[in-house]
Chains A and B, each alone.
Chain A
């Protein structure tokens, strides 16, 4: 589904990612961990097509095609979803209206007519249940005045509505209380199927107790320096990143 080869990315002339490689297949869950400031969010943004990043080398192949030239909205319509580390507030725009616009844009891309209002509203209702989102929250403006945890829940709610093929969740677990973490993780799991793939970026192995990854990658120095199974996350939790740094920084 996603194949990143030899990717080199800079921002403001500073190289953040270099020799970055990853291979993600349908049905898989990948976890990416790594110290602060190593480029995890950068990676997520570059896959989603955010402007301001310069791709100096390599390629991003999604569903068999290079997407480097596609606009962010085109990538989104093709099924790439980014759960933001810091979701932004959009005053005055209700979540319902926002989602309606998004859903219909994606449908238009697929050659479908806009979803009838009734059908859309009952679909929203179903999806709200998945993340146990309360109704008053859903009628408010996008992220405006939401608590940190509510913003993250809202990201997963949107993911549930849009049903992406490739979801990249950037620290969706940070800022969540224990119950919310369980709910969000349950939401992510219930959206998982054999045709979609998930990349979770996280600092904590506790999320991986709920969402069991097929692979855990450690990002350091702009590339993946170690890949393992779930046990790698446990090891990191125990020892921190220093042992990896020592292993790498020869």
Chain B
């Protein structure tokens, strides 16, 4: 009867990305291609200080010596880096004056996701300055942060306003020499976010890029830097469950986090970039380098991610556990459907004594997609009495998709313990029939079962994010008719 289940699952999961929408954005662009001249031009256009140009040039020169990584379980079409436009300053968003004029299909998706009306307006490009509420929200938000001495601004702004902090921490966790895409990003990154939490401050709100209005259109080569000083705490949310479409196919972002003594950073991501159509045409290539440095004693960094979008995902949020007794965590749900490919996981590098890390990875594959977990756990000689627990589960929907696990374990001392558990399961016909028998149709049954499967990770997300992410998981696996 498993054949039967496969058929049901295949039918239900063969869906198209429903959110195809493009906003016409008037932009100021520079010619295609990458050269030292282009790097200089980007820096100049952004009015950057000398040290930034230096950084970019060094990165560019290093990039020239590198090749794209080939070890991932991905088949990546050849990318012509000279065919990419590396700088496009957003001028003005095409504006519509009310939601009634937005794509009805898109609005339906928003309704399903339960996205608040005001947020819908921003996402569909309804003139933002007409949205009084969101502006006032952003303003109160800014003053709350300022009171506490928290810095939260765009990267460009930070380069000008806080050059010392940027000089000190830029590239300190992900050096431009790290990998091909990190070098590329370092040379040409357009903008991103900077966040600094001073000593002993608990950030009272979830920081979200959504509140930073000028965050729009910096998606392609984004750069985020978060510094949590001694004893501080921040929860940071990246992306949104709302569908994101971008004409730029190539994305290479960097996120760097530094946590000092007793500091804690929680970084949550929901990634829902355009995955391409059912046949695998189009879609975003997402090559991300995310790394956190637990620099201080008892510092803690947690990554939580829900990945449903992109045609290709190459992403390994990692922790360098340098401080003694520091803690690194990685919780991930990665969904692939149709022709999507994901190679994602984490690296936990234990350097300090008594350090602890946890990796919980839940892969869900449907359609003809390929979903790989790749994780490295390294215990250095110094990292005595350290522990890692890794649990890596794969759920297959249908019989045409693939799930793969690539664990790398390297232990260099005798007192550390590394545990690795892995499971692969399928949604059974028994489970579906059980749900059906209670009046729940197959599509919704799959949504229930998948959400149950991913619960451990979804529970780690901030409340409002979690509710949206649950709905997103259902929608990502939903049939296009329905």
Contact = CB atoms under 8 A, between A and B. Distances in A.
Interface string B411-450: 0000000000000000011110111111111101000110
A25 B428 CA distance: 34
Contacts, number: 77
Given A72-B437, A101-B440, A88 B448 contact: no
A106 B437 CA distance: 11
A92 B458 CA distance: 11
A52 B3 CA distance: 10
Interface string A78-92: 000110100110111
Contact of A71 (B436, B444, B449, B451): B436
Contact of B448 (A71, A90, A109): A90
Interface residues of A, number: 30
A90 B431 CA distance: 7
Contact of A90 (B437, B444, B452): B452
B453 A76 contact: no
A73 B441 contact: yes
Contacts of A87: 434
A92 B4 contact: no
Where chain B touches its partner, the secondary structure class is helix
Contacts of A51: 1, 4, 429, 433
A162 interface: yes
B479 to A, nearest CB: 15
B438 A88 contact: no
Contacts of B160: none
What interface size band does chain B fall in? 20 to 34
A91 B454 CA distance: 10
B438 A162 contact: yes
B238 interface: no
Contact of B430 (A82, A88, A109, A141): A88
A106 B439 contact: yes
Contact of A162 (B429, B435, B439, B453): B439
Contacts of B436: 49, 71-73, 76
B454 A76 contact: no
B455 interface: yes
Most A CB atoms within 10 A — which of B429, B430, B440?
A: B440
Interface string A102-119: 100110010000000000
Given A72-B437, A92-B453, A98 B448 contact: yes
B139 to A, nearest CB: 34
Contact of A91 (B430, B440, B453): B453
A85 B433 CA distance: 13
B451 A92 contact: yes
Contacts of A93: 448-449, 451-452
A21 to B, nearest CB: 24
9 smallest CB-CB distances across A and B, nearest first, come from A92-B452, A93-B452, A72-B436, A102-B438, A92-B455, A76-B439, A105-B439, A88-B430, A77-B439
Given A51-B433, A90-B452, 16 more contacts: A51-B1, A72-B433, A72-B436, A73-B436, A73-B437, A73-B440, A76-B439, A90-B448, A91-B453, A92-B453, A98-B435, A98-B438, A102-B438, A105-B439, A105-B440, A162-B438
12 contacts: A51-B1, A51-B4, A52-B1, A52-B429, A73-B436, A76-B438, A81-B437, A90-B448, A91-B452, A92-B452, A98-B448, A105-B438
